[in-house]
Structure 1
Amino acid sequence: MNQEPERFTIVPDDYHVPYAGTAEDGRKFFLSDELFTPGSGYVGLFWWKPDGTFDEVRVDEVRRSEGVPPGQAVSAGADELVASRLAELGKYVLEPIEVEPFSIEVDGVTFGWMGSEFDGIYSINIEPGDFIAYYEPWDGLEYDT
């Protein structure tokens, strides 16, 4: 039986994780414009300190694309906002990051990477939207959508 990890790895890719790495100031980051609740989309910049402990979240509510099935993650089309958030990183490196799970509430919506267990199997899921789930061995090389 596996256990919920204290840390897990996020590896950038060309699918749901285009922006994960280390910012100019040494902090770890994950940026997504695919976060969603049934009525809203979000651009979220998640920050961890250089040692991988949670630091802060910057969230902007954006319009959710019309005609998207309720549980499907898609780009919010907020390219200017994404570019602005990327500029806040300074010189950054896209690379695997090892970070701790966390959750935080912003305006009544839970954001973060949260652990859960079902039938003795642990996963770390992104919120809001639950469209990325990592499992043991927690190396970030594969995730479920």
Structure 2
Amino acid sequence: MPGAAPERFTIVPDDYHVPYAGTAEDGRRFFLSDELFSPEPGGPSYVGLFLWHADGTFDEVRVDAVARPDGVPPMQAVPAGADDLVQARLAELGDHVLEPVDVEPFLEEVDGTEFGWRFQEYDGTAMLNIEPGNFIAYYEPWDGLEYDT
């Protein structure tokens, strides 16, 4: 039933907007993206590492602002061009496994910008949208197998 945020949802790694999701060496669940971006014109892109405890409860978010690539239309998600930073964040995870993870949605403010998963309803459809940038939207049944961009 629309109107209630899910207690949990699944993030499934893929070759599109979710290349890095899984379990870190220490058992924490993670999602790493270099496609997060400020909705403000001229605002930065971000590399964000979202971390949950092994039981799927929120732990922390690590964020690095980087220059938005030139020529990208407003409100379009693209890789930030920060491959070294992405590799450094992956190295922080130790030996990790890319796999589906069941986690709770969260919103955490970092330097005045919200990061995480915002619950919204639009025309009776419940969804979780990634922030900042709102370029991934998960829907019921919250299994991570399909999302809109």
Match status 1:20 vs 2:21:
yes
**SS of structure 1 residue aligned to 2:85:** helix
Aligned to 1:63: 67
Question: What corresponds to 1:29 in structure 2?
Answer: 30
The unaligned stretches of length 5 or more in structure 2 are none
Cα distance, 1:70 vs structure 2: 0.5
> Deviations 1:102-142 (Å, cap 9, x if unpaired)?
00110011100111112321101100000000000110000
Within a 5 Å distance, the mapping from 1:103-118 to structure 2 comes to: 103-118=107-122
Out of 53, 56, 76, the residue aligned to residue 49 of structure 1 is 53
Provide the secondary structure at the position in 2 that maps to 1:86: helix
Does the residue aligned with 2:119 lie in a helix, a strand or coil?
Answer: strand
Moved over 3 A (4+): none
Is 1:101 the counterpart of 2:105 in the alignment? Answer: yes
1:135 and 2:139 correspond:
yes
Which whole-Å CA distance do the structure 2 matches of 1:68 and 1:137 have between them?
Answer: 33
Structure 1 residue 4 displacement after superposition? 2.2
SS of 2:88's partner is helix
Please give the alpha-carbon distance, in whole angstroms, between the structure 1 residues aligned to 2:67 and 2:28.
29
- TM-score normalised according to structure 1 size: 0.97
Question: Distance between the aligned counterparts of 1:109 and 1:69, measured in 2?
Answer: 20
- TM-score, scaled relative to structure 2: 0.95
Identity of aligned residues (%): 74
Deviation for aligned residue 1:82 = 0.4
- Consecutive unaligned residues of structure 1, counting only runs of 5 or more, are none
Give the whole-Å Cα distance in 2 for the aligned partners of 1:144 and 1:104: 22
Identify the residue that residue 121 of structure 1 maps to in structure 2: 125
State the alpha-carbon separation in 1 of the partners of residues 84 and 122 from structure 2.
Answer: 39
In structure 2, distance between residues paired with 1:138 and 1:16: 16
Letter matched to residue 120 of structure 2: S
- Report the AA paired with residue 139 of structure 1: D
Query: Distance between the aligned counterparts of 1:57 and 1:43, measured in 2?
Result: 10
How much does 1:41 deviate?
A: 0.4
